[in-house]
């Protein structure tokens, strides 16, 4: 899968992509990352990419000519790609959107803005607007890198043999259960007995219950409307235990 960033800060993208799991995936040829800089499509001495807004107001607006020229070039390089502009007004990224991108397998072109935003006409060359959450950043590069990172985890081989993106939190629909490694005791905090016992059915039950409990406490919006019989029993235990803690 290929990822192309239309960005005024290609060095930022290249630096981040040099590391960790994405870096290794690129080295292994499982994905590729490239950048096109709209500044290279300017024709004036100052290589101007922004200008003041019509109608007045603070801040600068990204000019259509260099951005559309850069997007055109990007589409020439990746004709089948989806073109995604990162902006706070887009639909909010969720794991199901990540999985849609991953399973479609289409290359992705990310259009990253800066300053006060894009000239509205630029969106005529974009397939969709995407937000990574309800906050304003200084630019679209970090959001675009987040989207790529989340999608790259689904490319076969990127996570390595043992791990599976499909089994992760949000893909399973629930928050993750707690994990522990050695030592058994750290600063007076011990690893739960059940995890050290080697009874795999009991461990699976404990983990499912912890996932349900974490989701119930922190993200009840993620819980299913109806539980199967096993989950319903675990939920009843969780609620009884929490009520006991409150009263005890
Ligand atoms: C983009 C914020 C996507 C959240 C782009 C300023 C942005 C953003 N999600 N903020 N430029």
pLDDT given for residue 161 in this prediction: 73
Please confirm, yes or no, whether 153 is among the known catalytic residues.
Answer: yes
Nearest 5°: the CA angle 93, 96, 97 is 45
Nearest CA to ligand 1 atom 11: 139
Secondary structure (DSSP) of 31-86: -EEEEE-GGGG--STT---EEPPTT--SS-EE-HHHHHHHHHHHHHHSTT-EEEEE
Q: Which pLDDT belongs to residue 110? A: 98
Residue 132 Cα, ligand 1 centroid: separation in angstroms? 7
| Token duo for residue 169 | 């939190």
- Pocket lining: 143 vs ligand 1, CB cutoff 6 Å: yes
102 lines ligand 1 (CB under 6 A): no
State residue 172's pLDDT score: 82
Residue 114 CA: which ligand 1 atom is closest? 11
pLDDT at position 140, please?
A: 98
- Tell me if residue 93 falls in helix, strand or coil: coil
In this prediction, residue 35 carries a pLDDT of 98
Q: Say yes or no: CB of residue 140 within 6 Å of ligand 1.
A: yes
Q: What is the pLDDT along the chain (248 residues), one digit of tens a residue?
A: 999 999 999 999 999 999 999 999 999 999 999 999 999 999 999 999 999 999 999 999 999 999 999 999 999 999 999 999 999 999 999 999 999 999 999 999 999 998 779 999 999 999 999 999 999 999 999 999 999 999 999 999 999 876 788 878 888 899 999 999 999 999 999 999 999 999 999 999 999 999 999 999 999 999 999 999 999 999 999 999 999 999 98
> Whose CA is closest to atom 3 on ligand 1?
131
Q: Measured from the CB, is residue 131 less than 6 Å from ligand 1? A: yes
Catalytic residue among 65, 77, 99, 168: 168
Give the burial class of 54: count Cβ atoms within 10 A of its Cβ; 0-12 exposed, 13-18 middle, 19 or more buried: exposed
Ligand 1 pocket: which of 91, 128, 132 to mutate (most atoms within 8 A of CB): 132
Residue 116's pLDDT is what?
A: 77
């Amino acid at each position: 899968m290929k990822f192309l960033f239309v960005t005024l800060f290609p060095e930022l993208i290249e630096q981040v992509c040099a590391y960790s799991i994405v870096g290794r995936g690129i080295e292994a040829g499982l994905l590729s990352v490239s950048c096109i800089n709209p500044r290279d499509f300017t024709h004036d001495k100052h290589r101007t990419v922004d200008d003041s807004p019509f109608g007045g107001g603070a801040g600068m607006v990204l000019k259509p000519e260099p951005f559309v020229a850069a997007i055109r070039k990007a589409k020439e390089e990746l004709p089948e790609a989806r073109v995604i502009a990162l902006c706070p007004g887009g639909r909010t990224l969720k794991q199901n959107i990540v999985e849609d991108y991953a399973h479609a397998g289409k290359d992705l072109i990310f259009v990253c803005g800066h300053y006060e935003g894009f000239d509205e006409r630029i969106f005529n060359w974009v397939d969709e607007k995407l937000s990574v959450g309800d906050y304003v950043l200084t630019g679209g590069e970090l959001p675009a890198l987040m989207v790529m990172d989340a999608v790259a985890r689904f490319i076969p081989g990127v996570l390595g043999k043992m791990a599976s993106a499909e089994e992760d939190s949000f893909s399973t629909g629930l928050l993750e259960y707690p994990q522990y490694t050695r030592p058994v005791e750290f600063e007076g905090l011990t690893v739960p007995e059940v995890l050290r016992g080697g009874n795999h059915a009991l461990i699976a039950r404990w983990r499912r219950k912890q996932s349900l409990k974490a989701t119930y406490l922190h993200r009840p919006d993620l819980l299913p409307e109806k539980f199967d019989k096993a989950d319903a029993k675990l939920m009843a235990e969780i609620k009884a235990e929490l009520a006991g803690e409150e009263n005890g």
